[in-house]
Structure 1
């Protein structure tokens, strides 16, 4: 079991820090299909650079390492109890070493276990098979894309698409709607797994199982093969684009499976996954516990675009067109500086910024802040942090999905005098109104680019609310060269609302039945 535990640790590290070859190729195909000078094109350039940085640093590709989910096939007679203990020990070690972010939170108290262990975490599914080897597959699916999972019960009425019946065309409409509703909040361009049938639980399980398929495989069911190809082609006509910036590439992969169902139930379940599609697997010799084979092609064998750094140097690394303005802001920021900004501007931040997620926003509604936030920047981020004798160090620090803070953000902006909020996926009308009334902006960073942004953080100045857990604590970070794009300004303009409206109109093009 000692060697088995080591093998599980190696699996976790590889999954968290190195995208497999099939995913890398899909990202490169998407990058080639996008205009390099657009916001989406340059976002993809930042993504490819981040993938390489994570591999080189052996650090998490994205700071949200999700809910570790293991699928284990064992020969008859294998000791699953000891295997579970070894997997849990490997998870604790990987968390301590900064390869996983501590993500296990008590649902009632909000307390973070600190080691990714707790009731239900990590997820471990065992199944016996007739082979001699042990097979272990792992997926790390972050909360941003997990929150965009969706399940439909047919027949149903869908926005822009009308009635979806209990047939292949109804399934088609559900999948197209699933991509539309995700917008940029799931870190598009992404991948989807679809489960047709089952009950509510097994339907979602089937959908997630599809994400373990190779991106380039061919569905043996002819109807599902045609549907996969249709969705991949037409979802990219919705114009949502990478990060929801608008563009040609919204979806990088679609995999569909089907199972039997009850006569009274017809579920279509969709598991959305971000571009940081972290899944890997190993075959293990049962006697020694050693890894004998890796199940997916190593990312080491598929280099990203060697021209990436030249592209980023020649244009703008924040994911906006090179023709956009670039403004350097030193914190604290004045209202006058903010009012001069408009959607599309690139902002380069220097000085101190402060992380804040769900727990902090809820707290600040009824309490004072521990520091003066007038003119400050709040970063929607739950970083991966490690501490040594020299203090705290940031190991990964990409943005989290901002829409969760919509109930709080506008009130907190005005209460504390905050001038800028950084996150991903945009925010809603309440925040947009507050930005206009108060004089603030929303800045969109590139979701998943945890290594790219970690390099912009020069120093950890301090931390408050460690009782919330590392991801939810308020970290005070000294940054230089932190680039993001204005997507909601103080004049009532929102790129996110514009893309949503445009993609909704395009969705209606797929209302009529299609006979695949």
Structure 2
């Protein structure tokens, strides 16, 4: 199969940059249910635009391209060792070309291989079958949603839902709880795959395999079809909403599979996937290695709303009202702070230029849409750990820290940002409050919110948490105008501290300096709604 490596490379590029048609239709259906004048409506509008931008630019939809996971069926007699070598080489090429972010990290040293190769990466599962062609399927599942996977061992006592037994009703409770515990940290609205039975390993594998099903298929097992429909109807009543902002659309798809189990074990495994549901597959000719057929409808030409424009309209113009778009890209502010008119949904639009004063920060309230310009610095796990015991290489007084591990490429002109959406912020909770206090940081940007320690530090030292739209890597990359420099490149590209000039970077205040947290409010509200399903019975 001389062309097999090229075919795998094409599969990787398509999966990373172009959402399949079934996923796009699910997002469009969800968007139709959400009021466009709400925070979740704004998020879905930005998501829709980002999907179109990624396709147009052939760039990653989300900067976290996950751990490439291949499931491959081969005829008897095909050399799987050669196929594995070709797959690894295709992964290296895709990483070098900026279609994959280098995500393979040594678990002991913390070193990044830089090419997505390492012990256990990429993940490749081979199975033989009696067909004459090769079936290759790929899923790119980012770390934010991977961290929200969860496994239950029944019987169990579940928060808000009480006892979950070894029956369909207990399984129902587990799935609802899985959606609740994810909140906005898995980039909702999302998709879930559920595996019933097996052991701890095979249960998770079964759950992930459900994610390869098409979003609009029908489960052949009547009991599971009924369960899937029940979850889709009722999980969206929890009010978690897109990005955890509250709203009507929390779940876009639910697929359930079942296998036998040990008498002593009853596992329910849930694989959570964000809205950027990147999976694709191809049938390969065993003689040549050419692609014979794409297994999922390719997304080109299937819109999720108004996604053609590269930049969204200004909120304050009639065009914005007519288009339904609420993603914001206003001109750079001339002063350090400028307050625009209220949006149609009642939220204020406020423009800030870094460095930001404490006075400007104290004026902000949860729900404000902030438009940032100036310099911003990225920082993730490795940097936060470092800054606890060391000084910063740059002055962070009045600065903005962005929880982001971008996709970066370097040429003779320097570094360029290829994708730059937010990462899940809660991982930095052990460090964030101390770093805000130590360096005088005024704003932290990420997704999913942070905890009580950070909220207290924002109150005490004058800061805000800004929630960017998870997965919108192309939308935010457009706002980055220049790479000013980089520190700690030895941490790896995702973990390095990138210094970036931004213009028109839009995010929503979800934790302010007055002790208010939208994330805490939504979680409390969804917990009360979850409890309403405690006594419901599913048989």
TM-score over 0.5 (shorter chain): yes
SS of the counterpart of 1:300? coil
Structure 2 residue runs of 5 or longer lacking an equivalent are 330-342
Question: Of the candidates 427, 431, 452, which is equivalent to residue 475 of structure 2?
Answer: 452
Counting only pairs closer than 5 Å after superposition, residues 75-94 of structure 1 correspond to structure 2 as: 75-94=75-94
CA distance, structure 2, for counterparts of residue 243 and residue 338 of structure 1 = 23
Q: Which residue pairs with 1:437 in the alignment?
A: 460
Structure 2 counterpart of 1:40: 40
Cα offset for 1:304? 2.8
- Contact 1:488 1:494 (8 Å CA) reproduced: yes
What are the Cα deviations for residues 350-387 of structure 1, in whole angstroms up to 9, with x where unaligned?
Answer: 10000000000000000000011000000000000000
Q: Provide the residue aligned with 1:51 in structure 2.
A: 51
Matched, 1:421 2:444: yes
Query: In 2, distance between residues paired with 1:217 and 1:117?
Result: 34
Q: Does 1:375 align with 2:398?
A: yes
Q: Is the 8 A contact 1:283 1:295 kept in 2?
A: yes
**C-alpha deviation, 1:514, in angstroms:** 1.7
SS in 2 for 1:504: helix
RMSD: 1.3
Mapping of residues 52-451 of structure 1, within 5 Å: 52-306=52-306, 309=312, 313-314=320-321, 316-317=326-327, 322-451=345-474
Work out whether residues 13 and 94 of structure 1, in 8 Å CA contact, stay in contact via their aligned partners in 2.
Answer: yes
Contact 2:105 / 2:111 at 8 angstroms: preserved in 1?
Answer: yes
| 8 Å Cα contact 2:112/2:491 also seen in 1 | yes
The equivalent of 1:514 in structure 2 is 537
Q: Which consecutive residues of structure 1, in runs of 5 or more, have no partner in the other structure?
A: none
- Kept in 1, the 8 Å contact 2:74–2:126? The answer is yes
Write the distance in 1 (CA, Å) between the matches of 2:307 and 2:494. 34
* 1:310-363: CA deviation from partner (whole Å, max 9, x where unpaired): 696346415986421111111001111101111011111110000000000000
**Shift of residue 82 of structure 1?**
0.2
Which structure 1 residue ranges, 4+ long, deviate > 6 Å from structure 2? none
Q: C-alpha separation between the residues in 2 aligned to 1:310 and 1:512? A: 47
User: C-alpha separation between the residues in 2 aligned to 1:374 and 1:432?
Assistant: 19
Distance 2:350 2:287 in 1: 60
Partner in structure 1 of residue 336 of structure 2: none
Secondary structure of the structure 1 residue equivalent to 2:270: strand
How many Å separate the matches in 2 of 1:137 and 1:158?
35
TM-score w.r.t. length of structure 2:
0.94
CA offsets per residue over residues 258-299 of structure 1, 9 Å max, x none? 000000000000000000000000000001000000000010
What is the SS of the residue equivalent to 1:280? Answer: strand
Task: Give CA deviations for 1:46-100 in whole Å, capped at 9, x if unaligned.
Answer: 1000000000000000000000000010000000000000000000000000000
Aligned to 2:504: 481
CA drift at 1:235: 0.2
TM superposition score normalised by structure 1: 0.99
Describe the shift of the 1:178–1:384 C-alpha distance in structure 2 as closer, same or farther (beyond 3 A). Answer: same
Structure 1 Cα separation of the partners of residues 72 and 247 of structure 2: 39
Q: 1:469 to 1:221 in 2, by over 3 A?
A: same
Counterpart selection for 1:492 from 510, 515, 537: 515
CA deviation after TM superposition for structure 1 residue 307, in Å = 7.3
In 2, distance between residues paired with 1:145 and 1:274? 6
Distance 1:215 1:82 in 2: 33
Quick check: 1:34–1:40 contact (8 Å CA) kept in 2? yes
CA contact (8 A) 1:169 1:515 kept: yes
